[in-house]
């Protein structure tokens, strides 16, 4: 039986990172990258109640900036 072997390439990357700190030795944030939110699903007690559902949708919309049609609220089941 003849076995043939493949080739293996190993790459090593060394990164030098410099952390800038303030006077209290806390790191200074260079930038914050926020994820893009496409929609939201909320599971909540009272999620079957239309008024509670509306209030939750409005709250999530206010916090995330999502359109209300991209937010779904469902009843929490035990």
pLDDT tens track for 21-69? 888 888 877 777 878 889 999 999 999 999 999 999 999 999 999 999 9
Residue 64 parent element (H or E) = helix 50-64
The answer, as to whether pTM is greater than 0.85, is no
How big, in percent rounded to 5, are the helix, strand and coil portions of the chain? Answer: 25, 15, 60
Annotated domain spans of the chain: 40-75
């Amino acid at each position: 039986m003849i076995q043939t072997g493949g080739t293996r390439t190993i790459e090593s990357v060394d990164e030098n990172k410099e952390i800038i700190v303030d006077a209290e030795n806390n790191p200074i944030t260079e930038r914050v990258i926020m994820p893009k939110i496409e929609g939201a699903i909320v599971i909540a007690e009272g999620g079957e109640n239309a008024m509670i559902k509306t209030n939750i949708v409005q709250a999530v919309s206010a916090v995330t900036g999502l359109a209300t049609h991209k937010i779904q609220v469902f009843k929490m089941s035990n």
